[in-house]
Amino acid sequence: MAASAFRLEGSSMSPVFKSGEVVLVSSLSSQSSSLIPHPSSLPIPPSLILSSGDCAVYSYNGTTLLHRVIKTASDGVWLADDAGRLAPHFVLLERIRGRVLSRNPFAGGICGRIYSAIRRRLSPYKYPHAA
């Protein structure tokens, strides 16, 4: 499995992710190859690789960004920040570089997913496109 480490900057994913933290990211190509045991030319739907609540790293205007998946579609995913500052936005699958496997690889990580799930349930008005 191909994985890369990214150091985070900014506060859009606060309080779960903080500026300066390191995240370990698995590339989508390595995940998709493990899902299909033989070569195939069929596209793999994002829902098999990414699911709601996962964090995805993607490229936008030459910048690498990290946001949370709130909904999957056949050709990409809807992403939003945890801080609630950005409107949900659609990103094509080809722009997604990978899925976050862990943050600060030496620390635990289920708390962030639990926090985000609770926050989304309590404030659905922040994510009008996620329904």
The model's pTM is: 0.63
Query: pLDDT by residue (tens digit) across 19-63?
Result: 888 888 888 764 444 443 444 444 555 555 788 899 998 988 888
Which tokens hold the place of 12? 């859009």
Q: Structural domains in the chain?
A: 3-130 (2.10.109.10)
Residue 49 burial (CB count, 10 A)? 22
65 confidence band (pLDDT: 50, 70, 90): confident
Counted residue by residue, the chain has a size of 131
